[in-house]
Amino acid sequence: MIKTIEAVIDENGQIRLLESINLPAARRALVTILEEEPATSIAETALLSESALAEDWNKPEEDAAWSHLQRAQ
CB 30 within 8 A of CB 4: no
Q: Which residues pair with 9 in a beta bridge?
A: 15
The tens digit of pLDDT for each residue in 8-23 reads: 888 899 999 988 889 9
Among 14, 15, 41, smallest CA distance to 5 is for 15
Output the CA torsion 41→43→46→49 (10° steps): -60
> Residue 73's pLDDT is what?
56
Per-residue pLDDT band at 49 (split at 50, 70, 90): confident
pLDDT above 80 for 68: yes
Question: 42 falls in which pLDDT band (50, 70, 90)?
Answer: low
Its pTM stands at 0.46
Cα-based distances in Å from 27 to 13, 24, 43, 54? 19, 9, 26, 33
